[in-house]
Amino acid sequence: MRSLTRRQFLARTAALAAALSLDPDDLGRLLVTAPTATSGTTDIPSTLLQTILYGPTVQGSYRRLVAGPGEPYLPRLDVLGRDPDPSRTSRRRSLLYLGHLSDLHVIDAQSPGRIEPMIVQDHSAWGSAFHPHDPLSPHTVAAMVGAFHDARSSPLTGAPMGAAVVTGDSADMHSHLELRWYIDLMDGLTIDPATAGPVFQGVQAWPEATWAYRPEDPTGGAFGDYGFPALPDMLERAIAGEIRSTGLPAPWYAVYGNHDTLLLGTFELSPSLHALAVGGQKSYTLEATASTFLRGWAASGSAVQQGWDALNLAWGRSGFRAVSANPERRIYETREFMAEHFTTQPEPGPIGHGFTRRNLQTGETWWRAELSPHVRALGLDTCNAVAGPDGALPDVQFRWLRTELERAQREQKLVLILSHHNSLTMENTAQRPGETEILRHGPEVVDLILQFPVAIAWLNGHTHLNQILAHRSGDRGFWEITTASCIDFPQQQQVVEIVDNRDGTLSLFTTVLDHASPVSPGAPGRTGDLAARARELSANDWAETPIMRRGSPLDRNTELLLPSPFDLEIITDASLQAQRMTERARILAHEQRSAS
C-alpha cells in the first residue's frame, strides 16, 4: 500500500518538531533511520531475556531471589480456534504498542491515616493494611516507570510506545499526597518521601509495634521469627532524598480502582479517618486502631459520635504516638481523583488522562479516548462506592458501553476496554437503601462485549496476578488481560502490542516487565536497590502464596490470536507511517526530558 510522499514526510516532520520543541534536523534523522516494522530490539529489558525466581533460604524461612531464564512468547489459539499461518511472521505490522500498569498502590507509610495494626486481628484478611516494604512503595513505582522507559520500543517489532494505561488502585489509602505522588511519578517529576521530616515516623520505627516488621531490629515478632533480615538503615534510606522518575514515554490514561474509591478499597470513608489523616496522632495497637476506625464507620451517621471522636484525637488516646502533621495527607473526595489528573505535565499528556471537563461537570467517571487513529479505548468505572472490594457495572455505564461498541463497529475502530476489576471479580451487589439502579456483573459484561468483534481485548487488574482469559462465542471472541501489581510479588506490569498478521488474523503480544532494579539489592539508598529490596520482602509474604501471582506461562509472555474484526487493509501504510512519526517524535521528546 502507498506510503507517505517525500513532501508529506517533510511537512509532518516540521510540524512535529515545532509542536514538541524538537530540533527538526535531529527529528528528521531519527525518523529516516527508524527500524522497520518487523525488526525487534532483542536487548530491551523484559522477561523475554530474564526472569526473577525464588532462590535459597538464607535465614529461617526467608528466601532471596535469583535470576532465571527468559520466557519466549507462547501462542494461544483459544479464540482463533485453528492453527495460524506460520508465514505470518514475515508479513506482520504493528498497529499499536502500549504499556499496561495497574495496582501501583503508592503508599505514604508515615501517614496517620493508615490502619496497619489491623493485621494483628487477622494477617490474611487485613494483609493489604500493612506490608513490610510499604516505605519503599514510591521507589518501586519509580523503578517500574523506569522499566517502561527502557521498553519504550517494542522488543518484537521495534515500534515506539504509543500509549500507556493505568487500570486503577493508584493511591493506596485515599490520600491526596499519594494521589499526587502517583501522577507526578507517571509524569516524570520528583517526589519527596520525607513527609514528616528527616526522621521516619511510623510503626516500623517503633519498638512497641512488635507485630510489624521493624527493620532496625525485627526480633520479638512474627517477622523476625520468620527470618526477615535486620536492615538498620532501610527506613532512613527510604526517606533520605527525593525520588526521581523518568516518566512514562507515551500519553497515559487512567481509570478508577477500588482503593481510589473507598478506604482500603473496601470501606466508606469515615469522619474519624479524615481527622486522623491530617492530624498528629498515629495508632500502633489493634485496640486503638479498631476503636477509632471501626467505631467511626459504625457511627458515621451520628454527629455526636463524630464530634467525640475528633475530640479524642485532639486530646490523645492510649495506643497512639505523636507524629508530625501534614495537611497534604488529607483524604480526597471521589471526584477529586478525576480533577487531580488535570494538574499534570503537558507531555506526555494528555491533560486529564482520559477524563474530560465533561466528566468533572457531570460526575460521570467513564470515558472514551483515541489511543491512535485506529485504536479506541473505553475507560470504565467498575468500583462500588458503597462497600466491598469487588466491582460491578452500573446499568448507565452498561448502556453507554453498548452504544460506544455499536459506534466503534460502524466506524471500524479496534477497541480496548479498560477497567479495574476483571470479569471474575464483578459480583458486588452493595447498594444504599432506596437505590434501584441495576448492577451488571461479569458474565453480563462478557456477553455484551462478545457481540462486537471490534472489541479485541479487555485490560484490567485488581487481583494482583498475571492472568489471561479467552472469551469466545461461535467464530468470534476477545482476550481479557489482567496484569499484576507493584505492591505484591512479583511486582510486575506488562506491555501489549496489537499486530496485524495481514492474513485475516490479529495477534496481541503480551510481554511482562520486572521493574528496573537489580535482582538482588546492592548499594543501599538508590531507588533501584530500594525497589529490589521491596520485591524481595514482598516475595516472603507468608500470609499468602506469592509465587501464584506470577500466573502460568500462558498468562505472561504470549501471542494471543483472534480473527480480524474487519478488513484491516483499510488501515493504510501511509496512515501507520504518520502514526509512527508522531510516536517517535514523542519518544525523542521524552528522552530529552528524562536526560535533563
What is the per-residue pLDDT across 477-524, written as a single tens digit (0 to 9) for each?
A: 999 999 999 999 999 999 999 999 999 999 999 999 999 999 999 866
Radius of gyration of the chain (CA): 24
At residue 39, the pLDDT reads 53
At residue 306, the pLDDT reads 46
Does the pLDDT at position 308 exceed 70?
A: no
How many CA atoms are closer than 13 Å to the CA of 587, on its beta-carbon side? 25
What average pLDDT score do residues 193-219 get?
Answer: 97
Residue 228 C-alpha cell reads as: 526477615
Phi, psi angle pair for 4, to nearest 5°? -65, 145
Question: pLDDT per residue over 430-482, tens digit each?
Answer: 999 989 999 999 999 999 999 999 999 999 999 999 999 999 999 999 999 99
pLDDT category of residue 305 using cuts at 50, 70 and 90: very low
Question: pLDDT per residue over 310-327, tens digit each?
Answer: 445 444 568 999 999 999
Q: What is the number of other CB atoms lying within 10 angstroms of the CB of residue 237?
A: 21
User: Whole-number mean pLDDT of the chain?
Assistant: 92
Tell me the CA end-to-end span of the chain in Å, nearest whole number. 40
At residue 246, the pLDDT reads 97
Question: pLDDT per residue over 528-584, tens digit each?
Answer: 899 999 999 999 998 888 999 999 999 999 999 999 999 999 999 999 999 999 999
At residue 525, the pLDDT reads 60
What average pLDDT score do residues 111-122 get?
Answer: 94
C-alpha distances out from residue 229 to 219, 480, 520, 549, Å: 9, 39, 14, 23
How many CA atoms are closer than 13 Å to the CA of 264, on its beta-carbon side? 19
pTM for the model: 0.94
Of 570, 576, 428, 423, residue with least CA distance to 498: 576
At residue 316, the pLDDT reads 52
Grid cell 496522632 in the structure block, residue: 281
pLDDT category of residue 107 using cuts at 50, 70 and 90: very high
pLDDT category of residue 137 using cuts at 50, 70 and 90: very high
At residue 524, the pLDDT reads 60
Does the pLDDT at position 403 exceed 80?
A: yes
Task: Name the DSSP class of 91.
Answer: T
pLDDT category of residue 299 using cuts at 50, 70 and 90: very low
Residue 310 C-alpha cell reads as: 475528633
How many CA atoms are closer than 13 Å to the CA of 103, on its beta-carbon side? 28
At residue 19, the pLDDT reads 80
C-alpha distances out from residue 59 to 53, 63, 136, 446, Å: 17, 7, 22, 47
At residue 307, the pLDDT reads 45
Does the pLDDT at position 364 exceed 80?
A: yes
pLDDT category of residue 295 using cuts at 50, 70 and 90: low
